[in-house]
Amino acid sequence: MPSVTYVQHDGSSQIIDVPNGENVMRGALYNNVDGIIGECGGGLSCATCHCYVDDSWASKVGGPASQDEADLLEGVSSERKAASRLSCQIVMSDALDGLIVHLPETQY
């Protein structure tokens, strides 16, 4: 099962196994990772699962954000960066084993 490292704003981190086909947001929610709220449950209608994909993984996560995702990223509470993504839109696979995502200071 592939793993994701969730790095908190303060630098602490948790490594969580996330099943293939599951998204990074649910991996965090199911394992009580602070910093991901996922208010809409992954329905691509909020931005409370905002994360920053580590630079070493940016090209492996998949193409740029969809237009709907990009529109939601415009309203995030923490700084939007080039590596900003909604974690509900990152689906785990063996190719993403070891993925590192950094969590913003706040989701609200």
Q: What percent of the chain has pLDDT over 90?
A: 97
User: Does residue 19 carry a pLDDT above 80?
Assistant: yes
What pLDDT was estimated at residue 62?
80
Task: Give the H/E segment covering residue 15.
Answer: strand 13-17
Query: Residue 94: what are its φ and ψ, rounded to 5°?
Result: -60, -30
Fold of 3-102: Ubiquitin-like (UB roll) (3.10.20)
Extents of the domains making up the chain:
3-102
* Segment 24-45, tens digit of pLDDT: 999 999 999 999 999 999 999 9
Per-residue model confidence (pLDDT) at position 63: 76
pLDDT digits (tens, 9 = 90+) for 46-78: 999 999 999 999 999 987 899 999 999 999 999
DSSP string, 26-73: HHHHHTT-TT---TTSSSSS--TTEEEE-GGGTTTS-SSPPHHHHHHH
